[in-house]
């Protein structure tokens, strides 16, 4: 049975500290403050459309990651060669989402966070409420499954 989404207050209280730490590590304090508000406003806008309450930590971290990427792109002057080719080359969640649709939720979240958003396995473990090792395992199981499906 699907788990209903919790009241937003409960979701927010459970995830705000971690989202803020995550943004702080990537953007520095000043930018992180604006990104924090934007992350949860976006989450709030999308919240009524969620069909279940699973993997909400992973979900909100993907929103935060998206905002980090937008922020990095925005601050890079136009016409200049990308200084962060690795991050720039990341497939967006939208591109990864259809590819990973058939995966079990845990593996899907791990694959998207790892390859879509370049999160470390420790962060993915946090996001999924499991360990670093379990996150690594879920991501590689997901990738193996994808290889099988696409060959």
Partner 1 sequence: MTDTLSPALDERFRAAAAAEGLLDVAYDVLPDTAIGALLVGVTDHGLCRITFDPDPEQELEQLARLFGPRVLRTSRPLDRVRLELDEYLAGRRRHFDLELDLRMVPDYHRRVLAELARVEYGHTTTYGMLAAQSGNPRAARAVGTVMNRNPVPIVLPCHRVVGANGSLTGYGGGLPRKEHLLRLEGAIL
Query: d(Cα 75, Cα 50) in Å, to the nearest integer?
Result: 31
CB of 61 to partner 1, least distance (A): 15
List 1, 2, 3, 7, residue binding partner 1 (CB under 8 A): 7
Q: Which residue has the tokens 């690795």?
A: 86
CB of 31 to partner 1, least distance (A): 12
b/e per residue 78-95 (b: at least 16 CB within 10 A) = eeeeeeeeebeebeebee
17 sits near partner 1 (criterion: CB under 8 A): yes
Q: Which two tokens stand for residue 12?
A: 């927010």
Q: Which residue has the tokens 């079990």?
A: 104
12 sits near partner 1 (criterion: CB under 8 A): yes
List 3, 27, 31, 48, residue binding partner 1 (CB under 8 A): 48
Binding site for partner 1 (CB under 8 A): 4-10, 12, 16-17, 20-21, 24-25, 29, 33, 36-37, 40-41, 44-45, 47-48
């Amino acid at each position: 049975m699907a788990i209903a989404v919790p009241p937003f207050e409960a979701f927010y209280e459970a995830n705000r500290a971690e989202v803020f730490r995550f943004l702080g590590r990537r953007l520095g304090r000043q930018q992180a403050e604006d990104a924090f508000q934007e992350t949860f406003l976006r989450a709030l806008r999308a919240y009524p459309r969620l069909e279940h309450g699973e993997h909400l930590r992973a979900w909100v971290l993907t929103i935060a990651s998206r905002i980090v990427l937008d922020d990095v792109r925005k601050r890079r002057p136009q016409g200049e060669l990308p200084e962060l080719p690795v991050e720039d080359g990341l497939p967006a969640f939208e591109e990864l989402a259809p590819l990973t649709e058939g995966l079990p939720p845990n593996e899907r979240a791990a694959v998207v966070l790892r390859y879509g958003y370049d999160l470390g396995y420790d962060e993915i473990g946090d996001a999924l409420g499991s360990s670093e090792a379990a996150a690594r395992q879920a991501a590689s199981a997901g990738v193996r499954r994808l290889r099988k499906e696409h060959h």
